Amino acid sequence: MRSATPWSEVFDQLLLATGETLYMVVVSTVIAVLLGTPVGIWLQLTAPGGLRPRPVLHKVLGFVVDLGRSMPFLVLLVVLTSLTRLLLSSTIGPTAAIVPLSVGAIPFVGRLVQNVLAEVHVSVVEAAVTTGSSTLRIVRSVLLRESAPALVNAVGVTAIALLGYSAMAGVVGGGGLGDLAVRMGYQRFNDRYLWSTVVVLAVIATAIQLVTNRVARGVDRRRTTSV
Amino acid sequence: MITVENLTKTFPGSTGQVRALDGVNLDVAAGTVLGVVGPSGSGKSTLARCVGLLERPDSGSIRVDGTDLVSLDGIALRAARRQIGVVPQGDSLLRQRTAAGNVALPLEAAGVAGPQRRNRVAELLDLVGLTDKAGSYPDQLSGGQRQRIAVARALAASPSVLLADEPTSALDPDTTGSVLAVLDRARAELGVTVLVVTHDMGVVRRICDDAAVLENGRVVEHGKVLDLVSDAASRTAASLLPAVDQNPAAEGSFDRVADVVLIGFAAVGALLPEATSRFGVDLNLLGGGLTRLGETPVARFRVGLKGERADSALEWISEAGGSVRRTLSGPQGVAA
Ligand SMILES: Nc1ncnc2c1ncn2[C@@H]1O[C@H](COP(=O)(O)OP(=O)(O)OP(=O)(O)O)[C@@H](O)[C@H]1O
Ligand SMILES: [Mg+2]
């Protein structure tokens, strides 16, 4: 008869795993957004009806992006080990997990960003074109600025998706909450680990959502008067 | 001044090529307002988009103040675009910017900054009568106010040409008036040459000096609005002038029935009474009415005449500057 793991021990492990998870999610979200946003902008610019329509390039780019998105994350983890070794000269640990997490999320962010930018109405974009603005200026002060609230939400969606994917980081010794839940909770039938990680994951996801909602409202300059 | 010569534009369509513009020739004199009308799909927007350098025509030339703009590219194209203010079809304001921020957009693109930019924005908000809305966001403005801001924005970089595609199509009659007043002011105070696409003859009546009618990508009528209305063959005239109801029963009792178009204060006020007294005829107004083309009063009346010298009276009216449209010879002659 095993006695339950003392809460203090659970708590210590939980703290460590939460730190690892937050580290992986935050860093990979930042990298994925930084690299995925230009992909999304490029997709939208080259789209039919975009500012620089290039149908063939757009198709090829879209194909690559969708290929990346359809790749199961577990496969990506394994496939990208050599890239990880190249970049970090190590393939183990939370930092190593950041490479496949970021790379996997780039096409995801690309599509999200493209969809958000496509929502900016064509007559708004054309109005900017007729002012003689450069494409760069239109991207910056029209496309990105007009969709800023939706872009912030897209970052939140990405972070929550990466929170989910980071659970698989255990495969490369990345640790984190998902790994703790699987190793200690599921494989060793330890309910304290299982449920407490679930609670912490839910809290993190909710916090991400609350923060993005708040920031999205903050950057939204539309102020509709209540009539 | 805008000169369009032999402009053609085709689009790939589901059933072969669509000829949106098929050899269009137009010119708009400096400081005048041209109204482009025509049925849906006749190529009005395509024309406005070509002149606004948003669409590249297949062939032909577009000259603004003498410079051909069709073949421009890159920086030269962007510079040319600043010469042409555009009010695009539909809602085109940046919703994340205030009214003043929207008006400032072309100035930012032109590199105008600091107090110079602020002053210019203030001037334009004043021109469109929305100084008090400078800090409002588009969502807080009415449709008419948004369109006036769009006009102010189009004028910000001091273009010599202003294009507006259906600027009033989503507005009620009162609000339409406020937007048209702003376009009229742009012409009067800034000397801008205006091309306005519309399906509303009221717009042509109120602010256009000239009108062009497009059909299937071709210009089928083009001229001064005041000339068009006195041209019996003009189809545009019919829709610009007050309507006349058919009333054969009432018309039957007269010796002569005719439609008379009168242009200008003197003609509208005096021509018919004078004809009555000169020729001793009995003249009755059977229908029609009075309207205005810009500042000029214009009337179309259906008149019924009784008396021996009815024909002479009609002839005199037409010599005195009225245009006599439809003479029905007596009670028997219906629809000549
Ligand atoms: N981008 C495009 N691609 C394909 N066909 C087009 C395109 N733009 C216009 N057309 C076609 O060209 C023709 C002229 O269109 P245009 O929009 O200029 O008409 P319009 O006179 O402005 O009509 P409306 O009064 O309905 O606005 C139409 O047959 C239209 O279907
Ligand atoms: Mg149109």
Contact A113, A40 (CB under 8 A): yes
Q: A 129-158 residues with CB below 8 A of B? A: 129-134, 137, 141-142, 145-146, 148
Four-way CATH pick for A7-218: 2.40.160.40, 1.10.3720.10, 1.10.10.60, 1.20.1260.10: 1.10.3720.10
Task: Give the CA angle between residues B119, B123, B125 to the nearest 5°.
Answer: 115
- Partner-chain contact B92 A127, CB within 8 Å: yes
Output A73 or B63, whichever has higher pLDDT: B63
Structural domain boundaries in chain B: 2-237, 242-335
Interface contact A115, partner B, CB < 8 A: no
Return the residue matching tokens 């919703």: B95
Query: Hey, what are A186's tokens?
Result: 């599921």
Q: How does pLDDT run across A145-192, given as a tens digit for each residue?
A: 999 999 999 999 999 999 999 888 777 777 888 888 888 877 777 888
Which pTM was predicted?
0.89
**Disruptive mutation site among B89, B91, B92 for chain A (greatest number of A CBs within 10 Å):** B92
Q: How does pLDDT run across B44-78, given as a tens digit for each residue?
A: 999 999 999 999 999 999 999 888 999 898 899 99
- How close B24 gets to chain A, by Cα (Å)? 22
Residue of A nearest to B154 (CA): A131
Task: Please state which CATH class domain B2-237 belongs to.
Answer: alpha beta
Kindly indicate whether the domain formed by B242-335 is annotated with CATH number 3.30.70.260: yes
Helix (H/G/I), strand (E/B), else coil: A227: coil
> In 10 A of CB B286, how many CB atoms?
18
CA of B157 relative to ligand 2 center, distance in Å: 25
Helix (H/G/I), strand (E/B), else coil: A222: coil
Strand order in the sheet with B161-165: B84-87, B161-165, B193-197, B33-37, B210-215, B218-224
Return the residue matching tokens 């969709």: A147
Q: Half-sphere exposure of B305 toward its Cβ, with a 13 Å CA cutoff?
A: 30
> How many Å apart are CA A121 and CA A52, to the nearest integer?
16
Contacts of A124 in chain B (CB under 8 A): 91-95
Q: Ligand 1: residues within 6 Å at CB?
A: B 11, 13, 18, 20, 38, 40-46, 199
Question: Across B255-327, where does the E strand assignment appear?
Answer: 256-263, 282-293, 296-306, 323-324
> How many Å apart are CA B208 and CA B104, to the nearest integer?
28
User: Is residue B329 predicted with pLDDT exceeding 80?
Assistant: no
Q: How does pLDDT run across B142-159, given as a tens digit for each residue?
A: 999 999 999 999 999 999
Give CA B109 to chain center in angstroms.
30
- Partner-chain contact B139 A223, CB within 8 Å: yes
Residue whose CB lies within 8 A of the most ligand 1 atoms, among B24, B42, B89, B198, for a mutation test:
B42
User: Is residue A1 predicted with pLDDT exceeding 50?
Assistant: no
Contact B54, B86 (CB under 8 A): yes
Contact A1, A78 (CB under 8 A): no
Task: Pick B88's closest partner by Cβ from A127, A134, A142.
Answer: A127
Structural domain boundaries in chain A: 7-218
- A4 burial type by CB count under 10 A (0-12 exposed, 13-18 middle, 19+ buried): exposed
Of the candidates B171, B151, B173, which has an alpha carbon nearest to the alpha carbon of residue B162?
Answer: B151
ipTM of the complex: 0.86
- Partner-chain contact B95 A130, CB within 8 Å: no
